[in-house]
Amino acid sequence: MSETVSFKCPNCGSPLLYDAETARFSCEYCGSGFSLEEVEHASANADAPFDWGDYAAGVSDEHLEGLISYVCRSCGAEVVTDAVTAATHCPYCGNVMVVEDNLSGLLKPNGVIPFRVDKKKLQEIVKNYCSGKPLLPRNFLTTHKIEEVKGVYVPFWLYNCKTDGSMTFNATRVRSWSDSRYYYTETSRYWVTCDGEMAFARVPADGSKRMDDALMDSVEPYDFSDLQPFAAGYLSGYLADRFDDDAEACLPRTDKRVKNSMAEAFRSSLHGFSTAVPVANNIRLIEPSVSYVLLPVYLIRASYNGEEYQFAVNGQTGKMTGNLPVSKGKYWGYFFGIAAAISSLFAAATFLM
Amino acid sequence: MKRMKKNICVWLLLAAALLLCPRQPAFAQALGSAAGAEQETAPSADRDLEEVAASASGVDGGGMEPEDLLWAVGVAFVVAWAVTSSMMRRMRPVQTAKTARNYIVKGSYRLRGYNEIFLGRTVTKQERQESRNHGGGGPGGRG
């Protein structure tokens, strides 16, 4: 049985929710507002939770691998969830619960970026995201059904590292000129070697197996100047996971990214060449260090024409991403429309010449 | 919508350029040589253009031959494919990050060594359009 923490209004006892806009906790029932310090102080002075004793221990299904159960401190219901959930809602009373076991010891995050985008703004963000997309089915915005909107703190590893190494290119310089009879093209070939180093700070890689890596990469970047020391209070009102992909398992993704960036930097150091083809590189990642943080993401699941679409919104910047449905009719309409327009242009030009 | 219109305009301009250049191969070369030539002078470049325009095949003051039509449809389809592909990419933005350029520490890139080794040189020459009538020709030559 895992321990959970939930924050209750010191005035009326109702669940408190974290308000991303004001960065304070608010009570939906009596309208009171509290700072993190006030809530933690009130929580420390609260009554001891009800002791369910042997009964609570007896009802847990320990044989269900990968699942944990806990008792809601608000209504006493037993809630079963998977082992990587760090914060969730009680399905019976809606109370927000933070699974402390998943956020302590080695699982305790070093920091958290609080949600800055309010759920109320999501509708507008979705609308803006869908505008200016000519291939979107005409009725998508009116008929799609948002199945679920979840504010989730996703576990991320942030890597600080350096890269060091060299890269070799096969490069050419091309020069052209002409005389009264011929056009000349001179191609000079070079073997170019660059050697250098570069530093990276806070390269993120999500540590959750159930999050799509590409989707999480696409909501970047985050502004890490807003990174706060971790406090469980930030999770109130949102869901949270703990990592199930450790820092070592996620390192190859970061390794690839930083090496590509280093290769780009080497390529941009070459001047005056017409072509430069990389033939060998020896770039190493050195002095990697890692920190564990929770970053805010809204996950939106929508259905349209029987198919499901998953979108993600950066909970700090509001950047939205996700693959949209394509109207085949519009696609072919544009295709043949453009082709017809260009053919007509050509015909008109030929006719006039 | 504004952005889309802008994209379409760009593509149409590109298409127009494509339509003009390949029909008259020497046109582009003449332009290139007029801009960057070391020996060519402007009047002779103008003369080239006039000659090329006069000798352009299949254009006899307003007619359109079948091969022209086929060629135009081909280019139109390629341009249409390029435009719709660009639109499709906007519908499918989810992709794994390839680089970490947002996370490079400012001023941390240090190029310690840079070395260029010259391997060799190749010179090709192509006979100019106007001298083709006088015999000889084809690419060739290494220096």
| Partner-chain contact A135 B87, CB within 8 Å | yes
CA distance B65 to chain A (A): 10
Inter-CA distances, A323 with A132, A206, A307, B89, Å: 14, 19, 12, 10
Strands (DSSP E) contained in chain A are 4-5, 16-19, 24-27, 33-34, 67-71, 78-82, 85-89, 96-99, 111-112, 145-178, 182-206, 228-229, 239-241, 275-304, 307-314, 320-321
| Partner-chain contact A338 B109, CB within 8 Å | no
Residue A170 has pLDDT above 70, yes or no: yes
Residue A215 carries which side chain, given as an amino acid letter? L
CB A313 within 8 A of CB A117: yes
| Partner-chain contact A339 B96, CB within 8 Å | no
Q: Could you read off the pLDDT of B68-110 as tens digits, one per residue?
A: 778 888 888 999 999 999 988 888 889 899 999 999 999 999 9
DSSP letters spanning A289-344: EEEEEEEEEEEEEEEETTEEEEEEEETTT--EE-PPP--HHHHHHHHHHHHHHHHH
Measured CA to CA, the distance from residue A265 to residue B58 in angstroms comes to: 49
| Partner-chain contact B111 A264, CB within 8 Å | no
b/e burial code for range A251-284 (CB count within 10 A of at least 16 → b): bebbbbbbbbbbbebbeebbeebeebeeeeeebe
What pLDDT score does A277 carry?
94
Which chain B residue lies closest to A163 (C-alpha atoms)?
B109
Cα B38 → chain centroid: 21
Q: Which residue has the higher pLDDT, A24 or A285?
A: A285
Measured CA to CA, the distance from residue B24 to residue B119 in angstroms comes to: 36
Those of residues 89-108 in A touching chain B at CB distance below 8 A are none
| Partner-chain contact A191 B73, CB within 8 Å | no
Q: Which residues of A touch B45 (CB under 8 A)?
A: none
Can you tell me the mean pLDDT for A290-313? 89
What pLDDT score does A42 carry?
74
Residue A230 has pLDDT above 90, yes or no: no
| Partner-chain contact A190 B80, CB within 8 Å | no
Most confident of A49-58, A186-195, A237-246, B120-129: A186-195
Q: Which residue has the higher pLDDT, A32 or B121?
A: B121
Strand-pair partners of A154:
A295
Those of residues 37-96 in B touching chain A at CB distance below 8 A are 37-40, 59, 61-64, 68-69, 72-73, 75-77, 79-81, 83-84, 87-88, 90-96
Q: Which residues of A touch B25 (CB under 8 A)?
A: none
Measured CA to CA, the distance from residue A107 to residue A84 in angstroms comes to: 10
| Partner-chain contact A200 B11, CB within 8 Å | no
The full set of domain ranges for chain A reads 4-108, 119-322, 325-353
Q: Which residue has the higher pLDDT, A101 or A34?
A: A34
Residue A14 carries which side chain, given as an amino acid letter? S
ipTM: 0.71
Q: Could you read off the pLDDT of A240-281 as tens digits, one per residue?
A: 888 888 888 899 999 999 999 999 999 999 988 999 999 998
The full set of domain ranges for chain B reads 2-112
* Torsion angle of the four alpha carbons A142, A144, A149, A155, in this order, in degrees rounded to the nearest 10: -120
Q: Could you read off the pLDDT of B6-33 as tens digits, one per residue?
A: 555 555 555 555 555 444 444 344 434 4
Inter-CA distances, A63 with A41, A72, A80, A122, Å: 37, 21, 12, 40
Token readout for A201 is 């700070």
Please give the interface size between A and B, counted as residue pairs whose CB atoms are below 8 Å apart.
237
Q: Is B9 on the interface with A (CB under 8 A)?
A: no
Those of residues 205-244 in A touching chain B at CB distance below 8 A are 212-215, 217-218, 220-221
Q: Is B35 on the interface with A (CB under 8 A)?
A: no
Measured CA to CA, the distance from residue B87 to residue A331 in angstroms comes to: 9
The pLDDT-based confidence of A148 (bands split at 50, 70, 90) is confident
SS3 A19: strand
Q: Which residue has the higher pLDDT, A47 or A217?
A: A217
Cα A281 → chain centroid: 31
CB B87 within 8 A of CB A135: yes
Q: Is A268 on the interface with B (CB under 8 A)?
A: no
